A and B are shown apart, each in its own frame.
Chain A
Amino acid sequence: MMPARRRFTKRVATSFLLCLPLSLGVVTSAIAQTKGRDVSIGLQAAITSMDPHYHNLSPNNSMMLHVFEGLIARDENQKLKPALAVSWKATDDLTWEFKLRKNVRFHDGSLFSADDVVATLKRAPNVANSPSSFATFVKPIIDVKVIDADTIVFKTATPNVLLPSDLASVMIINKAYEKSTTEEFNSGKAAIGTGPYKFGEYVPNQRVSLKANYGYWRGEEPWDKITFKMLTNPAARVAALLSGDVQMIETVPTADIAKLSADKKLSLVDKVSNRVIYVHLNQSTEKSPPFVTAKDGKPLEKNPFRDARVRKALSMAVNRDAIVSRVMEGKAVAAAQLLPDFFYGTSKQLKPVKFDPEGAKKLLAEAGYPNGFAMTVHGPNNRYINDAGIAQALAQMYTRVGIDIKVETMPSSVYFTRATKLEFGYMLLGWGTESGEQGSAMRSLLATFDTAKGMGVTNRGRYSNPAFDKLLAAALVTMDDKKREAMIIQAAEMVMGDVGLIPLHYEVSTWAAAKGLKYTARTDQYTLAMSLKPGN
């Protein structure tokens, strides 16, 4: 006779084993069902909130565009197009007039009007606990005047050419929810927008479900229900697509692109993005910058990076084509400036610096370093596509021109803090230009560092060129679009000729979808359900 405990254990084990085939049988049939007009999309980065004014973060901004809209929208090349505003113009240097769209309804049925814009502008810079607020976009507006239900006038303190572009990032909320907290948006109570989809469910760090807004003013969307799943692990994301759990994924891992392209059940699209991978050279110190020494380890007499010839040599030593084809497996475009040349403010004359190791050695000798020097290449290892691989490739290229190299990569949580404190000499970095025009990118990365004026905020190289600063500052207050573009192009040609920083390449973003779905790729790397349509 078996003791009761042992018999119980045996019973439990047996019944468990018997249950398995039953559950598998039921499960198989469940997965085989298709869902009609429902779609699941796998995202690479998690969003942090459903409050459109809480966190100025790309994944959040991309998600918000489904439920909310701004006065202005950006198309797949980041060009501005009308959304809740039908037209806008600068009536003088300090005044902008926006004409609003009529007969647009929020998800709760209320009519959109200028009062909602006023409420939005009050709320956007003041959300509690915001780690990165929208204040920068809204601050320049010092006065708001509602002329009538669909005309609104903004006054700025100084000429602000980027106001329409900045407002494209601010989502309009319903005035009834002006005082709502982030928690109320996360639960859906306040997440009432005018966008093509309505809030369904938000599970932090896991998924977002949305349902169609059948009364959307732009017309009917192809999807009834969308589920966004946050699949940060790249292998899991690919597996989810292959097993049919999701019908589209973003950020296909480079190593899997070849295999997925060959798969008949999938279609891949890619597009060059607004993200440039570049190198900042630390010019802040008189003598040796950190981690740069003579070959025998002694500090150098003067900072080699302050010499334009050395910077040019370091740019010529880089074989951009090899990085693009070998490290990035073709998913990159060699860069000559901060944005691909179809963006506003980019020069069609600038071409990527030619790979010329002999020329680089000659320039280094001219500058007084015939035997080179020693430096460490620093970069992140979990932030940009193949960042660690790029750093190593760069190191090998510099060894060829006679520079002794060490490579050090680290997680972004450590890297960016130290890079901002200028603890490195040669820094691998990336920059995604949200405004879609080169002037603001140059202002952040290349203008002389001046926190009071808000210039050069991310100029970690501390590059400083007064002539360039003057030209750029004048361009940024020129309201005429054509004149301003010519000035920005001139400034870009000046600063790239002087090698203010070393542009390497623009990242190409890849999306993979099930056959029968077509995704219109975007330069801002956003994944929008509105750009996904059935068809080929």
Chain B
Amino acid sequence: MLAYFLRRLSQSALVLLAMSLIVFLGVYAIGNPIDLLVNPQADEVERVRATVALGLDKPLYVQYWTFLKGAVTGDLGRSFVFGVPALDLILSKMPATLELALFAMVLAVFIGIPLGLVAGLKPDSMVGRGIMAFSIVGFSLPTFWVGLILIMFFAVQLGWLPSNGRGDTVLLFGVPVSFLTVDGLSHLFLPAVNLALFKLSLLIRLTRAQVREAVLQDYVKFARAKGLSPSRVIGVHILKNIMIPIVTVIGLEFGSVIAFAIVTESIFAWPGTGKLLIDSINQLDRPVIVAYLMVIVTLFIAINFVVDMVYSLLDPRVRLGQAAGAGH
């Protein structure tokens, strides 16, 4: 178990290193942030001063080496645009994104899986067909458009919910969260629905497919023959056996929701890391881009680790530490 853990850890470190190098080179290749930051009315002296102040006068490998030295101690550089440490900036906006992502995933899981179950168990009924039609609409509509429609309808026309921003926050274990206040929930609802829609549709279809397959298995026929109640057959036997692919997908999708809630955050002006990332890319604020991607990669690695742990709980045949490709 320890060997397995250490192996995972060293793999993760390699991934992080490769990622930082790629991003560093990539952003360097796009353009020179000085051209975007320095006021065009300023003279050459000012450009040189800014170039030196941001450390951009040094050759690329020196800049990368300085970055690595700092990274080991947790200092991922200072934002060119804001002047504050990049890691602090990202971590201060993480709670907002995590809150939105979690809320969206909760919506997707707790609505998607039950609906998928119903669609799988009654595939030819009106309800089943209706759910499948809804799921097609759900993953076909672009997030951008759905967000605007939600705002138009609920905020502008009906005036029930606010159109942008995050609500009042309270501190929970030192982290500001907004879902514990009514105002916070009202601001959280529309962006979470917008973000959840795609995942919801995905989960409905996946669950349905899995259920269709499981229902034909011998163990289900045997359980029914044994006289078990339908709810026990569905809730214990079928549900548990279809969970592995679903958990995999949830894990992957959760990571992507956190990393790429950019569109939703832009439309709803949700003050999260997605919006920060897109702005930083446009302004070539390299320390923030690199720091953000490092944090996200770390998050993905952690999520995948948790997913693998959950496998071993769900499927007793899975043993961690076997050759790569163990488990389902």
Name A residues whose Cβ lies closer than 8 Å to a Cβ of B.
1-3, 5-6, 9, 12-13, 16, 23-24, 26-28, 30-31, 46, 48-49, 51, 54-57, 128-133, 135-136, 139, 182-183, 186, 203-207, 229-233, 235-236, 239-240, 242-245, 382, 411-414, 416-418, 420, 431, 434-435, 440, 444, 451-452, 454, 457-458
Contacts and interface: CB of A to CB of B under 8 A. Distances in A.
Contact of B165 (A13, A131, A229): A229
Given A9-B114, A12-B110, A130-B53, A207 B165 contact: yes
> 4 nearest interchain CB pairs?
A417-B31, A6-B235, A131-B37, A451-B44
B38 interface: yes
Nearest to A454: B43
Given A131-B37, A204-B82, A236-B266, A416 B31 contact: yes
Nearest to B234: A6
A471 to B, nearest CB: 21
A130 B165 contact: no
Nearest to A452: B44
Given A206-B165, A245-B162, A56 B236 contact: no
B50 A243 contact: no
B44 A24 contact: no
A447 to B, nearest CB: 12
A28 B183 CA distance: 10
Interface in B148-174: 148, 151-152, 155-156, 159-166
Contact of B39 (A46, A49, A54, A56): A56
22 contacts: A3-B235, A26-B182, A27-B161, A30-B182, A48-B82, A55-B81, A56-B42, A128-B53, A132-B38, A132-B42, A133-B46, A139-B45, A203-B271, A205-B275, A236-B268, A239-B148, A245-B162, A245-B165, A413-B31, A417-B35, A451-B43, A454-B44
Contacts, number: 203
Contact of B46 (A132, A411, A414): A132
B235 A434 contact: no
Interface stretch (B280-288, B302-310, B318-326): B280-288
A518 B31 CA distance: 42
Interface of B: 30-46, 49-50, 53-54, 78, 80-84, 89, 92-93, 110-111, 114, 148, 151-152, 155-156, 159-166, 182-183, 185-186, 189, 229, 231-232, 234-236, 239, 266-269, 271, 275-276, 279, 281-284
B171 to A, nearest CB: 15
Given A3-B236, A236-B151, A444-B40, A182 B35 contact: no
Contacts of B46: 132-133, 135-136
B11 to A, nearest CB: 33
A420 B40 CA distance: 11
A27 B35 CA distance: 46
A435 B267 CA distance: 35
A229 B269 CA distance: 9
Between A128, A417, A454, A458, the greatest number of chain B beta carbons within 10 A of the residue's beta carbon is seen for: A417
Given A2-B231, A413-B284, 11 more contacts: A6-B234, A23-B182, A48-B83, A139-B45, A183-B84, A235-B151, A236-B164, A239-B151, A417-B30, A417-B32, A440-B41
Nearest to B46: A136
Contacts of B282: 382, 411-413
Contacts of B236: 3, 6
A12 to B, nearest CB: 6
Nearest to B162: A245
Contacts of B82: 48-49, 204
A69 B241 CA distance: 68
A130 B31 contact: no
B266 A239 contact: no
Contacts of B53: 128-131
Contact of A242 (B36, B39, B114, B156): B156
Which of B39, B110, B267 counts the most chain A CB atoms within 10 A?
B39
A519 B292 CA distance: 39
Contacts of B234: 6
B61 to A, nearest CB: 21
Given A6-B239, A27-B182, A1 B229 contact: yes
B279 A444 contact: no
A135 B45 contact: yes
B43 A136 contact: yes
The listed residue with most A CB atoms (<10 A of its CB), out of B43, B151, B276, B284, is B43
A2 B235 CA distance: 8
A414 B229 CA distance: 64
Nearest to B282: A413
Given A243-B159, A417-B32, A235 B267 contact: yes
A239 B43 contact: no
A421 B32 CA distance: 10
A85 B75 CA distance: 44
Contacts of A205: 93, 271, 275-276, 279
B292 to A, nearest CB: 13
Contacts of B89: 204
Contacts of A26: 182
Contacts of B186: 23-24, 27, 30
Given A230-B269, A235-B148, A411-B282, A132 B50 contact: yes
Contact of A413 (B45, B164, B239, B281): B281
